[in-house]
Every structure is written in structure tokens, then in C-alpha cells.
Amino acid sequence: MSEAQVLLEVKDLKKHFPIHRGVFKKVVGHVKAVDGVSFRLRAGETLGLVGESGCGKTTVGRMIMGAYRPTSGNVWFQPPNGQPRIDLADIRPKQMKPLRRHIQMVFQDPFASLNPRMTVRQILAEPLVVNKVAKGRELEARVRELVELVGLKLIHLNRYPHAFSGGQRQRISIARAMALYPCVIVADEPTSALDVSVQAQIVNLSLEIQDKIGVAYLFISHDLGLVRHFSKKIVLMYVGRVVEYAPAEPLFARPRHPYTEALMSNVPSTRPEMVGHKIILEGDPADPINPPSGCPFHPRCLYAEEMCATVEPPLMEVEPEHLVACHFADVLNLTGCDALGCAV
């Protein structure tokens, strides 16, 4: 079986935000929000992007959307109509415009991502109108189709966002993202503001849409359990860098990076018998303004040795498709979730 086409290939992507100080806005340093991230997203599949707060997940998503211009690196995008692939990192806004409809985003905050002054009908029609896809009766038909796709009712069309709960708003958000039938959706923590029971609804809806329409997701989350449920492959980030990039199954069976192991063991579990198997890391995640030398994880790593503080480990393939940035990936025998039997 041949693998699906690569839609998006991110290569060594970096984004350093300058820090300005003083009256003359002198640049005194950089927030290395994203500092070398590479991955591939294939048509119709889901790639999970996991990491702790501030590790640069949103920044990666926004660079793909063209909201931030990368400091360096490439975002190769393959338009679905067979044109040659384009580097979104190096493109003028004018050229970006026709490509936008192929890549859409679902935001984290259901209360900020819908314009409070527009009705649901207007919100859903907006992308269609802007891109001159449909007009008049056809527009109305498309809007109705979208509303049904995400499981809302037609009476909701005339309402304003304030009349909806968080979960319903997220449905509207998803409908808006689907309006142009994109081939990639960047979902930035779409469920982290929701209750678990509502989260399950949104997860089911997203899976359903993927099965029906075949869209590819870049699923950004800090919830390993959710990512596992969703994704075929997973990228784990730590302070702007990829520490591990692997298909879900081998990753959870046998993680190769100590950070992955710690993260898996820290996921709170509803099985009381699991308590006590935790790897409690010391300290806080590293500061992206001033990341540690060598391996960024070494100050918190249980297995760190001298060379970790000086030499930065490259992202190496330890098994087919399983990439790890750790000097001792081959030596360490780490316990994955499956062995722990934890909640994930």
C-alpha cells in the first residue's frame, strides 16, 4: 500500500521573537519560541503535536497559517490540484491568499474565536463570501449543509454566539473551518477549554468529519491521552524543539526520550493502583529566552550525563519512522504508558 501524499512538510522551522526594551525599542534578546521543528503531514491523517505550555505549539500552528513569518526554515505545502509544492514560509501575502482556503484553523478559546456581533449564518457565510465561492441561494444551501455537518440545528442560524455553550461554539468554529473544504486543519487545543463530556462530543465530531471528508489534522494538544486517541503520528516538543517524533503505537509502547517517559507517567490516572509510579521531574520547563546549553531537557533529566550539558543531541532515527533527540536513545530502556498501564 502506498502512503498518502505529503500535504505539509515542515523543515527545521524556527521563530525567534525579538524582545524590545527601552525608549528606542532596542532588541535585547530573543524568545526562541520555535527552534528547529520538522515533521510531515499526509493527506487524511492526523498528526498530534504535544508539549507543555509555552513550548511553541501555537507558534508552529500560526506559522503554518501564515500569521507569523518564520525566522528560518520551510513550510512546504502541496496544493491539492496537483500544482508544484510551495514554500509558505517564503511567499508574498498576495500569493498566500488563494492558498488560504486549503488550510484552516480551529482555535482554543471558543469564546474569543467567534465575532460576537455576527450571527451564526454570517459567521459561516464569511469564508464563502470572501472567497467568492457561493452567492445567494447556493450560499444559504452551503451554510445549511455546514450546520448539519457539525450537528447544530437550523434554528441556530440566526443566533449570536452569546447564545451558545462552549461546546456548541466549538462546533460553529469547526463548521467555519470546514466551509471551504480545506485539506488541512490546524486544530489548536480545540477541546482544552471544554468539559470532558463535551470534549468527547467534539472529538467524535472531528473523527466523523475526517472519515467523511478526509481532511488532515494537525492536532495540537497538551493531553497525551487525547492525542493518542486521535493521531497516527505524534510530535513531542520541549522548549521549541522536537524531542521525539514517532507513530503512536511504538511511542506509547516504548518511548525513547526521558521527557516522553516522564510526561506519560505524569498523566493523571483514574486508576488508584497506578499511584506511585510517577516520575516527578524537578524544576520548571526551560526558559525559551535562555534555553540551557546542550540538550534543553538535561537540567530536569533523570538520566542526564556530562555530555548532555554540552552537546546538543540531533534528531536521529532509532527505528524506522521513530525519531528521537537524545544521546542515549539506544541505551536507555524506558517504560511507556502501555507497560505502566496508565490512563493514556
3-state secondary structure the chain: CCCCCEEEEEEEEEEEEEEEECCCCEEEEEEEEEEEEEEEEECCCEEEEEECCCCCHHHHHHHHCCCCCCCEEEEEECCCCCCCCEECCCCCHHHHHHHHCCEEEECCCCCCCCCCCCCHHHHHHHHHHHCCCCCHHHHHHHHHHHHHHCCCCHHHHHCCHHHCCHHHHHHHHHHHHHCCCCCEEEEECCCCCCCHHHHHHHHHHHHHHHHHHCCEEEEEECCHHHHHHHCCEEEEEECCEEEEEEEHHHHHHCCCCHHHHHHHHHCCCCCHHHCCCCCCCCCCCCCCCCCCCCCCCHHHCCCCCHHHHCCCCCCEEEECCEEECCCCCCCCCCCCHHHHCCCC
Q: Is 58 in the site for ligand ATP (CB under 6 A)?
A: yes
User: According to CB under 8 A, which one of 9, 12, 87, 126 is a site residue for other proteins?
Assistant: 126
Q: 283-342: which residues touch other proteins (CB under 8 A)? A: 284-285, 337-338, 341-342
Single residue of 7, 8, 13, 31 touching ligand ATP by CB under 6 A: 31
Residue 28 binding result from ligand ATP, Mg ion, other proteins, none, given CB thresholds of 5 to 8 Å by partner type: none
**Per-residue binder mask for other proteins (CB under 8 A), 29-68, x = binder:** -----------------------xx-----------xxx-
294 sits near ligand ATP (criterion: CB under 6 A): no
Which range of residues in 8-16, 217-225, 301-309, 321-329 is near other proteins by CB under 8 A? 217-225
Contact between 260 and Mg ion (CB under 5 A)? Answer: no
Restricting to residues 46-75, name those near Mg ion by CB under 5 A.
58
Contact 5, 78 (CB under 8 A): yes
Q: Does 57 bind ligand ATP (CB under 6 A)?
A: yes
Asked whether position 234 contacts ligand ATP by CB under 6 A, the answer is no
- Single residue of 33, 64, 198, 281 touching ligand ATP by CB under 6 A: 33
Edge to edge, what strands does the sheet with 233-238 contain?
103-106, 184-188, 216-221, 46-51, 233-238, 241-247, 322-324, 316-319
Which option in Mg ion, ligand ATP, other proteins, none does residue 126 bind, with CB closer than 5 to 8 A by kind?
other proteins
**In whole angstroms, what is the distance from residue 36 CA to residue 64 CA?**
14
Question: Least CB distance from residue 160 to other proteins, whole Å?
Answer: 6
Binding partner of residue 76 among Mg ion, ligand ATP, other proteins, none, CB cut-off 5 to 8 Å per kind: none
Please select the residue that binds ligand ATP; options are 55, 65, 152, 180, rule is CB under 6 A: 55
Does 263 engage in binding with ligand ATP (CB under 6 A)?
Answer: no
Give min distance, CB of 16 to other proteins, in A.
19
CB of 34 to other proteins, least distance (A): 18
- Binding status of residue 23 toward other proteins by CB under 8 A: no
Q: With binding defined as CB under 6 A, does residue 54 bind ligand ATP?
A: yes
Query: Contacting ligand ATP (CB under 6 A), which of 48, 56, 161, 296?
Result: 56
Sign of the CA dihedral running 154, 160, 166, 170 = positive
Smallest separation, CB 267 to ligand ATP (Å): 16
Among the residue ranges 10-18, 270-278, 301-309, 327-335, the one whose residues contact other proteins (CB under 8 A):
270-278
Based on the shown chain and the rule CB under 6 A, indicate whether residue 206 belongs to the binding site for ligand ATP: no
Binding of other proteins at residue 281 (CB under 8 A)? yes
- Laid out side by side, the sheet with 6-21 consists of 26-42, 6-21, 72-77, 86-87
Site of interaction with ligand ATP (CB under 6 A): 17, 31, 33, 51, 53-59, 222, 288
